[in-house]
Structure 1
Amino acid sequence: MAGWDIIFEPSVPPALILALAMTGIAVLLYSAYRRARGAPWRAAALAITLIALVNPTMRQEDRQPVPDVAAIVVDRSDSMNIGARPQEAQAALARVEADLKSIKGIDTRVVYVEGGSEGTDESGEGTRAFAALEQALSDVPRERVAGAIIITDGEVHDAPKNAKALGFDAPVHSLIVGRKNEKDRRLTILEAPRFGIVDEPMKLAFRVDDTGAEGQGKAEAPVTISVDGKEMMRTDVVIGQKTEVTLSLKHGGPNVIEIDAAPGTDELTLLNNRAVVVANGIRDRLRVLLISGEPHPGERTWRNLLKADPSVDLVHFTILRPPEKQDNTPINELSLIAFPTRELFVDKLDEFDLIIFDRFKRQGILPLEYLSNIARYVEDGGAVLDAAGPAFASPYSLYRTPLAAVLPAQPTGEVTLGGFRPEVTETGRKHPVTADLPGADGPSPKWGRWFRVIDSKVDRGEVLMSAPGGRPLMVLDHAGKGRVAQLLSDQIWLWSRGYEGGGPQAELLRRLAHWLMKEPDLEEENLAASMEGATLAVKRRTMADATSPAEVTLPSGKVVELPLEKTAPGRFEGRMPAKELGLYRVAQEGLNAVTAAGPLNPKEFADVRATDAILKPIANATGGGTYWVGENAADTPQVRGVRPDHDAAGDNWIGLKRNDQYLVNAVRQVPLLSGPIALILILGALALAWRREGR
């Protein structure tokens, strides 16, 4: 393609040409005033001189047309998977691409806005159609952009506030799939605390809306509230009004609270009928009752361990003067106030989270009624840890009290002395209290020795640690609703003193205490689910040697089986891609776990009704149009190329701007008035002027 232009390349500065022109015009005006006969020829000479100085040139360019670029953004976010929207979007795309093929000089780029954990909504920012448009045109000069066509349900969450923010001057058109005036029920969280005290009331506020439907503020909707997959309550709420409910967290750490509204009469999707809140359970204060019997070197170890934790309220009941000790100390000098034994062991016993017996010896100081209360406390859900000393093998044993009903090991009456290293049993390698205990790996433990074990016979429960010869050393058991642990040696304090390198005393007792208080992370049978990027990870802990596949319910409601592979004794794991946004439910052998992919309550599902209200302002600002194409693919407007100064949208057509950009491959220039010719013309004009005036 060739292009012709006339250009001017002045031989001298333009200011000098202007000055010469002004001077010449003044002289010519004076000549005209004097009626000089040669004035016209002098004017011609001046004109030729000026033309020669500006140097007009004819330029020919060999031009190569450069095509314009149009972007088609196709929304494939999760809200576009509702109903027939995917098929409607595909039909509209096919029509647009067919029209564009017939328009020469426009290149088309199709970009997809994906949804779910593989797409752009992991951060909760919703459908980012304009971010995808910017990426598609990032390498295109702004003057070559012909325009953009967005095929979507209208739920776009990054629409710019004005056309200037787009960075190009071209029309943006939107083709809306779906139906006008759609109706849907959705649930919205209004107030949700991120933290809550375990077993204390916590308020949660939400609202159920039937968008686009009648009955707001009048009709009611059933709502189910579950925590960690277990149903906690059901209630009927007024649609369109704020609802507050009170519930309590049952354990420390993350608690997944799910609120589920029953389906309405008109539903686009059930995914936004559900909302999820993760509240971290915090124990206000752990109340521990430490009952010390015979004084020994390890008594201070227990006290130091418990007092080092600021969240522990410790009550220490210790027997400093047994009844058989007789001396002349007056009773009123033994203590300033009477110890509140009845208040502790009768009135407020149930307020304790854990009771520890440290080398307790039955000496008649605590009545059997009090010990019977402790047995009942365990049966009702309490926790007891017995760190036994030699007295456990004597007639003064704690086993010869009502507590025998909940203690899993009974003494044989023998005490074995001699150095040994505690060993983790095969059962203990599976149990969360002793699994992977630091120093326990290898053929022999890498920790210091103990020197005494109380020989016992285990009636029930699980032996996690043992002494040489298979003698039980640590026994755990479930008693009624509560839990009991027995440590059949009083030598664990040697580890805290670092004897022969010490051992994991603090870690072991921390795990033991948390297991006794029913922390989920220390449960023998536990199922956990979490998101690792775009992957769902399921972890199963069990005391069994094998386990069945887990059933995973996807956010869409589809159920798939996930095989679990053994990774360690008592531990199994499985992984699968998480392609959908929302809540994943995992069930296996009576256990349940829940986790969410992406944000807990995605903006993508805040409102899934098709709308043109979001994109219409930007379409109008750029000269584009907004069209509903969902009900009939034939409603898709025809695509045309338009000049920059023409309308870019009509009733049944949309236009893409033709910028007529090109590349110049070669340039040829020919002066219109060369120097010699100009000189001849100037001299000729002057000669004619002189001749005219010489007559």
Structure 2
Amino acid sequence: MDAVTLSLSPLVPPALAYGLGALALAVAILALVRGLKGWLWRALAGLVLTGALLNPALVQETREPLSDVMVLITDDSASMQIGNRSAAAEQTAQALRALAESDPLLDLVEVSGGASEDGTRLNRALQQGLSQAPRNRLAGVIIASDGQIHDAPPAADDLGLEAPVHHVLTGNPNARDRRLIVSQAPRYGLVGDPVSFTLRVEDEGAATGTAMVNLYVDGGDPIQARVQIGQDVTVQAEIANRGPNVVEIEVEPGQGELSLINNRAAVNVTGVRDRLRVLLVTGEPHNGARAWRNLLKSDPSVDLVHFTILRPLDKDDSVPANELALIAFPVFELFQLSLEEFDLVIFDRYRRRGILRPLYFDNIANYVENGGALLVTTGPPFAGGESVSRSPLASVLPAAPTGQISEERFTPQISEIGQRHPVTRPMLSGEGEWGPWFRRIGARPLSGETVLEAPNGDPLLTLSHEGQGRAAILLSDQAWLWARGYEGGGPHDELFRRVAHWLMGEPELDEERLSARVVDGELEVTRNTLADEVPELEIEWPSGVQESVEMDETGLGVYTERMTAREQGLVRLRSGDLTTVTASGPLNPLEYRDLRPDPEGFAALVDSSEGGIFTLGEEIDLPEFRRTNARARQAGMNWAGLKRNNAYLVTDAQSVPLAPGLLIALLALGLLALAWRREGA
């Protein structure tokens, strides 16, 4: 394309040239006022000289037109997966691609973005798209989004835009949706006590009425409550475990909802124990009694009640009992009135001598069956007629005595099943370097798992689930040698602290456990088991998509799986009968607070750029994208304009001077001569 233009290349500063021209014109006017006859020729001479100083020329340019650039910003956040929103965005992109292919002077720049852990953030994508389009060639910006953004862009002037911005609104802004909002939630709660949550159910399609809300603590049984729509209500749930507890709150679906994603919310409540109450009953003074007392007293979370029987009732030495007892043994208060208040009961080398009647042993057995914890550490009396195994307590003991007692030197070993059990597995590294014991009580296991054994396979430490509670039995009274460091000692404190916490239901020590967490965008799942293999891991993502994977064994009794957490929200996991939940990203992401399309999301930017907002409903009806002149209107009822900038690149130029120096000099002298002649006539 060729074009001819007038070009000025002043020989002196332009201001000086124009000043001289103005001076010559003023002199000519003065001559006219004074009646001089040569004023016209003087004026013409001044103009000719001024033109010569400006050095005009005709420039013939060969121009190569430059294409305009339109920028498409596509929202790829999670809310765009609802309904036909992503399909509408894709159809918008296809229409713009077709327009760019049909128009050689129009290029398309596509940028996707918006997805983040704290809502939809499209400003970065917008800046990235604008950086790829020269501002003098920008035809327009098209944003395909549902308008649910959390970093609304500034006005067009602040972005330096001189081109229209059009918002293609995906989805129906008049759609109905019900959502759950958790207004207040505690961060901590006492284990076994209820905690309160303040929540609100909002439903644009039903401003009044009620809805059923379910609460699940770590995927357990639902706690149901019927709440009033549109009002703040308080519901309660009991925290069952120490440590993190994911409380999922879910409202029943409404009619014709956009999505059920925002019908759920999750809260992470850390369970803490007020104090662990432990009752320790030592049947007779012995070397290991102090070791047990020191171990339990060293744990700041344990509130210990300890009684040692110094003088049994069957001992007849003519000394009154009230002169020997340091404190009366409150049998009725402990084993009849207050037994349920203890988290763990320990019988250490206890023998039946008439202090505890069968009724109290029966109470202890019922206490275990109903969720309590019992630890029995034995000695020689366990093998005889005074053994607690000959009482109602036998119904919850995991082992029964054979009547044999061995007093040969031996070193305790972790059993095959104990190598997989969370209580004893951490002690594997030091096994073989432990000091010896010198007495063990013969017994046969009745239930549970023997995690510690003698070299010949006889049980030493057996753990068992009894009813809703737990029981453990230690078939030796020599563990205190480890506490004293005899011949190197052994993991006394660590082992029996773990035994005590396992008995009291510490989740991290459960032998069958499924746990999960999301760290740096990666889902990490751990499965503890005593079995040789585990079922497939079933994963349900927040969107409802399900998948199954095989878990890899990374240690004895430990299976793990790691994968990218590709969705935000609550992830449900199942392996066999075990289930758990974890939060991917924020527990209640901004992305799901309101899922209705919002035409006001980009309104300020669209209005300031003289663009348009075009709503695509269930029937995707795209606007017509047309090229427009720079000064024309850029949006109509169902059309969006893309400005023509007419930018070009000059590839060649030829210049023809219009004021050659010699010709101008002769012309100026001729005009001055005419002026003098006219004035002299």
Distance in 2, Cα, partners of 1:318 & 1:681: 133
* 2:263 is equivalent to residue 273 of structure 1: yes
2:217 aligned residue (219, 224, 227): 227
Of 511-520 and 655-664, more deviation after overlay is shown by 655-664
Aligned to 1:111: 111
Cα 1:389–1:137 shift into 2, 3 Å = farther
* 2:449 is equivalent to residue 462 of structure 1: yes
Contact kept, 8 Å, 2:184 with 2:198, in 1: the verdict is yes
Structure-to-structure mapping, 1:27-426, within 5 angstroms: 40-113=40-113, 121-126=115-120, 128-179=121-172, 181-211=174-204, 213=205, 215-217=206-208, 219-296=209-286, 298-319=288-309, 335=326, 340=330, 342-360=332-350, 369-393=359-383, 397-417=387-407, 419-426=409-416
* 1:600-654 Cα deviation digits (max 9, x unpaired): 3333332323342333343222111112233444x42211122332210011211
Contact kept, 8 Å, 1:224 with 1:231, in 2: the verdict is no
Gaps of 5+ in 1: 114-119
Aligned to 1:656: 642
Contact kept, 8 Å, 1:103 with 1:640, in 2: the verdict is no
Amino acid at match of 1:109: V
Cα 1:9–1:512 shift into 2, 3 Å = farther
1:637 aligned residue (611, 620, 623): 623
* Partner-residue secondary structure (3-state), 2:94: helix
Shift, 1:464, TM fit: 0.3
Shift, 1:475, TM fit: 0.8
1:429 aligned residue (419, 424, 442): 419
TM-score, normalising length: structure 1: 0.86
Contact kept, 8 Å, 2:284 with 2:350, in 1: the verdict is yes
Distance in 2, Cα, partners of 1:287 & 1:664: 90
Cα 1:674–1:491 shift into 2, 3 Å = farther
Distance in 1, Cα, partners of 2:441 & 2:109: 79
Shift, 1:383, TM fit: 1.0
Of 461-470 and 676-685, more deviation after overlay is shown by 676-685
Distance in 2, Cα, partners of 1:377 & 1:205: 35
Distance in 1, Cα, partners of 2:51 & 2:306: 112
* Partner-residue secondary structure (3-state), 2:527: strand
* 1:474-527 Cα deviation digits (max 9, x unpaired): 111122221111223344444455555554434323322221111222222222
Contact kept, 8 Å, 1:223 with 1:262, in 2: the verdict is yes
Contact kept, 8 Å, 1:122 with 1:599, in 2: the verdict is no
Root mean square deviation of aligned Cα = 3.5
Distance in 2, Cα, partners of 1:558 & 1:16: 78
Aligned to 1:585: 572
Distance in 2, Cα, partners of 1:161 & 1:26: 53
Distance in 1, Cα, partners of 2:43 & 2:160: 52
Distance in 2, Cα, partners of 1:300 & 1:165: 76
Contact kept, 8 Å, 1:143 with 1:168, in 2: the verdict is no
Amino acid at match of 1:107: D
Contact kept, 8 Å, 1:121 with 1:598, in 2: the verdict is no
Shift, 1:8, TM fit: 4.0
Aligned to 2:597: 610
Cα 1:327–1:141 shift into 2, 3 Å = farther
Contact kept, 8 Å, 1:258 with 1:275, in 2: the verdict is yes
Contact kept, 8 Å, 1:99 with 1:638, in 2: the verdict is no
Shift, 1:463, TM fit: 0.6
Gaps of 5+ in 2: none
Cα 1:242–1:32 shift into 2, 3 Å = same
Structure-to-structure mapping, 1:554-565, within 5 angstroms: 554-565=541-552
Give the % identical residues.
46
Contact kept, 8 Å, 2:78 with 2:115, in 1: the verdict is no
* 1:342-388 Cα deviation digits (max 9, x unpaired): 43343322111122334445565556654443333222211122333
Cα 1:495–1:165 shift into 2, 3 Å = farther
Contact kept, 8 Å, 1:439 with 1:446, in 2: the verdict is no
Of 312-321 and 514-523, more deviation after overlay is shown by 312-321
Distance in 2, Cα, partners of 1:216 & 1:276: 24
